[in-house]
């Protein structure tokens, strides 16, 4: 579905991504994980054309991502970030509707879709009438996910979608997200620094990154049992207890 | 967007009501300088032209050279002038000594003067009778013995070649001299703040304040015979009106002129001060038995006219300024390479003093509302550009990225996300510009742009405090109302989500 070949991104003198190649198959959930500054967010933004590669190519569904088709491709992708990225001057409902309005949806279809997503994300219609500043952190994140999902995207890109939430709400949303992902049947790419979250939401495909490069890719089990480098083992061991707590030791 | 709609409604409303001053007016335009005597004579000329059936309009100018240039440019057809001013000031580079020379110099420029109206309003040097008698002053030469006397002269006298610099050299005076607004000089004399000032020999206050006029014993001051200065082609285009205006020749002597000035500046026999227009009408009635309907409006009528003109200046200039500044601010926010030069250039515009800017603009744009509007537009750019730039660059990167990520084009992002988010800051800039604009527009009074500046300026030059208030008070009230209106607008158009 998405293919990055030899992607290199520099910000000034700093190399954020160094010759990264990654292929993501359709209808699969992948987690990009690694310590802060490892390039996982940059890789995600590269896939959407939000940063341009200094060298390398991004292909979307077989077609190279270029300036000319960028807008069209973005309409096929849902994107949500840590702080939600909701527009403060619009109500939650208007935020959700905005992408669909620009896609030319009529009112009835829009209303139907918002209702569906509201059920899926378990929000009240009262909450949708409020402005982002009047919502709790968890509600904001649910609205952001609704906005990402409104066009029924083929690909869902999530950058630390739960990063700003307190542990209780976060745990609750993690459970809900797993249900949502399995229901969607979309390609999902999730950026997180939390191994437990990755192992829970994308147990079969975890990409561990460090200093702008991919260190190892595989299922959680592979990473744990056959680490390809000392760094992988260190990273996994440092978070194992929390993984056990979240997955009930079942992995 | 509601606020854009409001803006366009405002523009079209003003456009529909027409500009404050029509251009290319086929009618006769009579000018005058703004001080009382010139205004009275100017109104008399206008009324005489109208009496001969012409359609005439009156325009007032702040000084000799502005009026003279307006005449040369054909913006006006005629105005009262003084021979001394023509020879020593307006055409001083020609070094004219004789009237024949003056006549031919004017003819070369398509101008002509009448025979003298009958009084010589030359400069005179005056002191209070008290000081004059105490020091035994009689002539200007006597001043040389008293170098500690405090001299203050009208600004024009201080600077012109036939004013203070020449007087100082001819009489060998060593006194320090300061500049002072002529109409304030009398009060300064009366209160003892200054000892000596320049007078005009027809000043109403000479008799009223019992001032002592020092004899010009070295015949320094030239003759300042009042004449009718007009464009030659009036002989063809408005022969009857011209003949009617020339009736003034030989009809007003110094004593008569002093009395007319007194009616306007002090009030005759303890009566009220009259508008120059009214004095002119009564004089024509007495001299030629011409009945003129003064047709002046009452205070409210004038206030409504001035308010309309002032709003015209403000609304037109603000609309144009917004149309220029908003895109400029967006552009500056888009490109870091542009933002520096754009903000610097507009900042420099702001540092030019308003008066200087007006004077510079007179050359290309002439006298009138259009010049004031250009100046006001330039003045209003900075707050709007700067706030638009700040409002847009202040939007968090997360929000911009979210807008891009959901597939908005650059234009949609600007319209749906950036401008609404920057709106509170942009509005604050527009508000600042508008409040400053209302105040600065009063300077339009100096260049006949209409509005509240007109009574303020007339009041200053005619030493009439009530007249000044007639412009100053409504200008202050309007500024406050504009501020309130924007606070209201802010609550209506800025999203509630941004005020939480």
Mind telling me how many Å the CA of A225 is from chain B's nearest CA?
Answer: 37
Best of B3, B405, B494 to substitute, by most chain A Cβ atoms within 10 angstroms, is B405
Mind telling me how many Å the CA of B409 is from chain A's nearest CA?
Answer: 7
Q: Which two tokens stand for residue A33?
A: 């994980």
A191-195, B145-149, B380-384: range with highest mean pLDDT: B380-384
CB contacts, 8 Å: B404 with chain A: 50, 74
B145 close contact with A: CB closer than 8 A: no
Looking at every residue in chain A, the average pLDDT score rounds to: 89
**A103: nearest CA partner in chain B:** B407
Q: What is the mean pLDDT of residues B171-190?
A: 85
**Closest partner residue to A98 among B416, B495, B498, by Cβ?**
B416
**A102: nearest CA partner in chain B:** B408
User: Residue B448 pLDDT > 90, yes or no?
Assistant: no
Contact B402 A50 (CB under 8 A): no
B167 to A198, B20, B162, B220, B223: CA distances (angstroms): 96, 43, 7, 7, 15
pLDDT in tens, B103-156: 999 999 999 999 999 999 888 899 998 889 998 899 999 988 888 889 999 888
Q: Binning pLDDT at 50, 70 and 90, where does residue A82 land?
A: confident
Question: Model's pTM, two decimal places?
Answer: 0.68
Mind telling me how many Å the CA of A88 is from chain B's nearest CA?
Answer: 6
**Closest partner residue to B399 among A75, A87, A98, by Cβ?**
A87
CB contacts, 8 Å: B496 with chain A: 131
Nearest C-alpha neighbor of B56 from the set B80, B76, B83: B76
**Closest partner residue to A88 among B401, B408, B498, by Cβ?**
B498
A→B interface, C-beta within 8 Å = 45, 48, 50, 71-72, 74-75, 77, 79, 81, 83, 85-91, 98-99, 102-103, 131-134, 147, 157
Contact A86 B402 (CB under 8 A): yes
Q: What is the mean pLDDT of residues B467-484?
A: 94
Best of A44, A79, A87 to substitute, by most chain B Cβ atoms within 10 angstroms, is A87
Question: Chain B 420-459, CB below 8 Å of chain A: which residues?
Answer: 420-421, 423
CB contacts, 8 Å: B420 with chain A: 89
pLDDT in tens, B9-40: 554 444 444 443 333 346 899 999 988 999 99
pLDDT at B12: 47
pLDDT at B389: 96
B405 close contact with A: CB closer than 8 A: yes
pLDDT in tens, A219-229: 999 999 999 99
CB contacts, 8 Å: A79 with chain B: 402, 405-406
**Closest partner residue to B407 among A89, A99, A157, by Cβ?**
A99
CB contacts, 8 Å: A71 with chain B: 407-409
User: Residue A25 pLDDT > 70, yes or no?
Assistant: yes
Q: Binning pLDDT at 50, 70 and 90, where does residue A247 land?
A: low
Across A197-211, B193-207, B323-337, B379-393, least confident range: B193-207
B322, B384 contact by CB (below 8 A): yes
A146 to A96, A151, A206, B38, B405: CA distances (angstroms): 6, 9, 25, 77, 14
A8, A54 contact by CB (below 8 A): yes
Residue with tokens 């303020």: B456
**A44: nearest CA partner in chain B:** B405
User: Residue B336 pLDDT > 50, yes or no?
Assistant: yes
**A90: nearest CA partner in chain B:** B497
B401 close contact with A: CB closer than 8 A: yes
Mind telling me how many Å the CA of B331 is from chain A's nearest CA?
Answer: 21
**Closest partner residue to B401 among A50, A88, A103, by Cβ?**
A50
Contact B417 A134 (CB under 8 A): no
Give me the total of CB pairs closer than 8 Å, taking one residue from chain A and one from chain B. 68
Contact B412 A79 (CB under 8 A): no
ipTM: 0.88
CB contacts, 8 Å: B423 with chain A: 89
**B412: nearest CA partner in chain A:** A102
**Closest partner residue to A131 among B407, B420, B496, by Cβ?**
B496
B28-42, B50-64, B453-467: range with highest mean pLDDT: B28-42
pLDDT at B300: 85
Calpha distance A210→A53 (Å, rounded): 18
**Closest partner residue to B497 among A45, A48, A89, by Cβ?**
A89
Contact A131 B407 (CB under 8 A): no
**Closest partner residue to A131 among B401, B421, B500, by Cβ?**
B500
Calpha distance B331→B416 (Å, rounded): 17
What percent of chain B clears pLDDT 90, i.e. is strictly above it? 44
pLDDT at B309: 93
**Closest partner residue to A89 among B405, B408, B498, by Cβ?**
B498
Q: Binning pLDDT at 50, 70 and 90, where does residue B60 land?
A: confident
Best of B494, B496, B497, B498 to substitute, by most chain A Cβ atoms within 10 angstroms, is B497
Q: Which two tokens stand for residue B125?
A: 């040097």
**B423: nearest CA partner in chain A:** A89
Strand partners, A81: A159
User: Residue A198 pLDDT > 80, yes or no?
Assistant: yes
Contact B402 A79 (CB under 8 A): yes
A78, A159 contact by CB (below 8 A): no
pLDDT in tens, B183-203: 788 888 888 889 999 988 888
pLDDT in tens, A41-62: 999 999 999 999 999 999 999 8
Looking at every residue in chain B, the average pLDDT score rounds to: 87
Calpha distance A146→B418 (Å, rounded): 22
Q: Which two tokens stand for residue A52?
A: 């341009």
pLDDT in tens, B73-96: 998 999 999 998 898 889 988 888
CB contacts, 8 Å: B399 with chain A: 85, 87-88
**A97: nearest CA partner in chain B:** B406
pLDDT at B95: 85
CB contacts, 8 Å: A50 with chain B: 401, 404-405
**Closest partner residue to B406 among A90, A99, A132, by Cβ?**
A99
């Amino acid at each position: 579905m998405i293919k990055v070949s030899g992607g290199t991104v520099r910000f000034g003198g700093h190399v954020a991504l160094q010759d990264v190649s990654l292929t993501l198959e359709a209808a699969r959930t992948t987690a990009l994980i690694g310590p802060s500054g490892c390039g996982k967010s940059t890789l995600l933004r590269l896939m959407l054309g939000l940063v341009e590669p200094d060298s390398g190519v991004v292909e979307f569904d077989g077609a190279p991502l270029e300036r000319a088709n960028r807008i069209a491709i973005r309409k096929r992708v849902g994107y949500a970030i840590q702080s939600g990225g909701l527009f403060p001057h619009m109500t939650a409902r208007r935020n959700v509707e905005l992408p669909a309005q620009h896609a030319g949806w009529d009112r009835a279809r829009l209303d139907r879709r918002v209702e569906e997503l509201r059920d899926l994300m378990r929000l009240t219609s009262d909450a949708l009438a409020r402005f982002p500043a009047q919502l709790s952190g968890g509600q904001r994140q649910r609205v952001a996910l609704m906005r990402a999902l409104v066009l029924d995207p083929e690909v869902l890109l999530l950058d630390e979608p739960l990063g700003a939430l307190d542990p209780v709400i976060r745990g609750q949303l993690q459970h809900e997200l797993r249900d949502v992902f399995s229901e969607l049947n979309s390609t999902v790419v999730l950026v997180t620094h939390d191994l437990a979250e990755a192992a829970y939401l994308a147990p079969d495909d975890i990409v561990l990154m460090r200093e702008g490069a991919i260190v190892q890719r595989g299922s959680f089990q592979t990473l744990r049992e056959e680490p390809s480098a000392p760094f992988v083992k260190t990273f996994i061991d440092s978070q194992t207890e929390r993984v056990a707590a979240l997955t009930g030791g079942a992995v | 967007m509601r606020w854009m709609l409001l803006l366009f409604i405002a523009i079209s409303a003003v456009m529909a009501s027409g500009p404050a001053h029509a251009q290319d007016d086929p009618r006769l335009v009579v000018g005058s300088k703004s001080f009382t005597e010139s205004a009275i004579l100017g109104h008399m000329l206008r009324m005489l032209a109208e009496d001969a059936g012409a359609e005439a309009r009156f325009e007032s100018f702040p000084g000799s050279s502005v009026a003279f240039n307006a005449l040369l440019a054909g913006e006006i057809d005629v105005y009262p002038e003084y021979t001394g001013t023509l020879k020593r000031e307006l055409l001083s580079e020609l070094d004219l000594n004789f009237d024949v020379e003056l006549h031919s110099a004017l003819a070369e420029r398509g101008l002509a003067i009448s025979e003298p109206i009958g009084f010589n309003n030359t400069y005179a040097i005056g002191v209070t009778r008290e000081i004059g008698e105490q020091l035994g002053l009689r002539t200007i030469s006597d001043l040389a013995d008293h170098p500690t006397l405090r001299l203050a002269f009208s600004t024009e006298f201080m600077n012109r070649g036939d004013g203070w610099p020449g007087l100082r050299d001819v009489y060998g005076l060593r006194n320090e001299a300061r500049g002072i607004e002529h109409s304030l000089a009398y009060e300064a004399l009366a209160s003892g703040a200054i000892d000596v000032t320049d007078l005009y020999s027809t000043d109403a206050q000479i008799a009223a304040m019992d001032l002592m006029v020092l004899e010009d014993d070295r015949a320094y001051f030239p003759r300042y015979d009042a004449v009718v200065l007009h464009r030659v082609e009036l002989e063809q285009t408005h022969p009857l009106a011209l003949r009617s205006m020339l009736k003034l020749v030989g009809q007003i002597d110094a004593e008569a002129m002093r009395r007319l000035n007194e009616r306007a500046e002090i009030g005759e026999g303890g009566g009220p001060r009259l508008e120059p227009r009214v004095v002119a009408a009564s004089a024509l009635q007495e001299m030629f038995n011409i009945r003129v309907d003064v047709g002046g409006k009452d205070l409210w009528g004038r206030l409504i006219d001035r308010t309309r003109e002032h709003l015209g200046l403000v609304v037109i200039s603000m609309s144009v300024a917004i149309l220029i500044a908003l895109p400029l601010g967006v552009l500056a926010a888009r490109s870091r390479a542009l933002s520096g030069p754009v903000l610097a250039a507009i900042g420099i515009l702001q540092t030019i003093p308003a008066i200087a800017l007006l004077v510079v603009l007179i050359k290309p744009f002439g006298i009138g509302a259009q010049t004031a509007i250009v100046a006001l537009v330039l003045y209003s750019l900075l707050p709007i550009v700067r706030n638009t730039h700040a409002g847009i660059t202040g939007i968090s990167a997360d929000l911009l990225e979210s807008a891009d990520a959901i597939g908005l084009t650059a234009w949609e992002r600007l319209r749906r996300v950036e401008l609404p988010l920057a709106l509170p800051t942009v509005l604050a800039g527009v508000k600042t510009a508008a409040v400053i604009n209302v105040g600065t527009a009063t300077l339009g009074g100096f260049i006949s742009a209409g509005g509240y500046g007109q009574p303020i300026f007339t009041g200053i030059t005619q030493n009439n405090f009530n007249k000044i208030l007639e412009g100053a008070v409504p200008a202050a009230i309007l500024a406050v109302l504009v501020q309130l209106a924007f606070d209201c607008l802010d609550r209506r158009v800025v999203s509630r989500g941004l005020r939480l």
